[in-house]
Amino acid sequence: MPELVIPNVPQDVLSRMRRLANKGDEEAQRWLKIELWKDYTPPFACFLCDGEVHEVNATLSLPDKKPRKGENQQMMIAPFAMSMMGCRCSCVGSGSSN
């Protein structure tokens, strides 16, 4: 049964890794797709529809609670199923509901 996994990452780290990954940095891409999830066992549950995610190719990030003064904002990162093998519900506009 898929488990919803939502790791927390400092906002500055996530922003830097996404920026590097978008520029083609393979280490940053690996971090986002593999390293961030290495402590968890797939399949993961899609944050929106609970569909199975066997490989994380897309995520949804949301700010966690407001940080205390002097602390960095933490971001919650959740798997987002978008492939034909994952979520097929209307939440991503790819078909009928599960």
Q: What is the pLDDT of residues 22-68, one digit of tens each?
A: 999 999 999 999 999 999 999 999 888 888 888 888 888 999 999 89
Q: Which two tokens stand for residue 43?
A: 């399949």
Q: Which residue has the tokens 């049964």?
A: 1
> Quick one: what percent of the chain has pLDDT higher than 70?
83
Q: Which two tokens stand for residue 54?
A: 């066997």
pTM: 0.74
Output phi, psi for 4, to 5 deg.
-80, 115
Confidence of residue 86 (pLDDT cuts 50, 70, 90): very low
At what angle are helices 26-33 and 11-22 packed, to 10 degrees? Answer: 130
Confidence of residue 83 (pLDDT cuts 50, 70, 90): low
